[in-house]
Copies of this chain bind each other. A is one copy, B any other.
Amino acid sequence: MHKFNGKEYPCCTSLTMGIIGGKWKTVILYHLLDKKLRYNELRKEMPTVTERTLSLQLKMLEADGIIKREVYTSKPPLKVEYSLTDFGKTLIPLIQSIANWGDFVVEKYSKSKID
């Protein structure tokens, strides 16, 4: 049984999935792999996520120390940028592997199926 940020996981794989699992977290991280992005830039990259959900997911990733939130202005309109922390950067190869396997499946299926 492993512990991280107050949560307990029965397996080393559950720990990883507890941090990057869920419907949106890997998508966010995928877009932050090599660049900082603002909140609305992320929204444009992920047209089907709602504001509320994106906001919640960003907070969870921030709470786990995977991404950092930098604020550049004190009054509206605000400028906020999200990027990987050093700890978050240790996930880069994993996120890429996840993306690659997804691509591999898409490839495989686009070849074997018409639809």
Contacts and interface: CB of A to CB of B under 8 A. Distances in A.
A12 interface: yes
Given A2-B106, A98-B94, A101-B91, A17 B26 contact: yes
21 contacts: A2-B102, A2-B106, A3-B109, A4-B109, A10-B46, A11-B27, A11-B30, A11-B46, A12-B30, A13-B95, A13-B99, A15-B105, A15-B106, A16-B98, A17-B23, A17-B98, A90-B101, A91-B101, A93-B97, A94-B97, A94-B98
Interface of A: 2-4, 9-17, 19, 21-23, 26-27, 29-30, 46-48, 90-91, 93-95, 97-106, 109, 115
